Amino acid sequence: MAIAVFVDSDVVISSLLSPSGAAYLLLHKTDSLDVMLSTVSVDECLRVAKRLGLDTVKLAQFVQKCCTVVSLKGSQSILKTKYGGYVHDKNDAHIVAGAHAASVRFLLSYNVKHFKVDRIKDDYGIIIMKPAQFLQYLRSVS
């Protein structure tokens, strides 16, 4: 049974930049995951990929083939109001909203410090980890 994980856009971008990092191993080489992104996160990935000169076609193909995209209901301002208390920067509220909408147990991000980890875990049961930590977790349970 696949483990559903919501990934921050930084994890997706990292997986495109480094074929040997934890993000790449998780997103491209681990079959037991159901990788989830929100529509907002996909847009963010595309903006960052363009800015970094990465292949946006390759990114779009990866998202289409390997990810489940979750639609977020409500405007950015509504998401910031509802989920802003879970992040240190309200512009990251959509990440918590996406993980909550996806009903996942894990949210992967390289920016763990951007989140109010304990509050998210207490209110939504979502555990936030860096990709390397999650990779270690997977190895410990298999």
What distances in angstroms separate CA 61 from CA 17, 50, 56, 57, 58, one per listed residue? Answer: 16, 15, 8, 6, 5
- Does residue 43 sit within a domain? yes
Q: Note down the domain range covering 120.
A: 3-136
8-state DSSP, 31: T
- Give the domain CATH number at 30: 3.40.50.1010
Tens-of-pLDDT digits for all 142 residues of the chain? Answer: 789 999 999 999 999 999 999 999 999 888 889 999 999 999 999 999 999 999 999 999 999 999 999 999 889 999 999 999 999 999 999 999 999 999 999 999 999 999 999 999 999 999 999 999 999 999 998 7
60 domain residue, yes or no: yes
Whether residue 131 is contained in a domain is answered as: yes
Residue 142 in domain: no
Residue with tokens 């000169």: 53
**Domain count along the chain:** 1
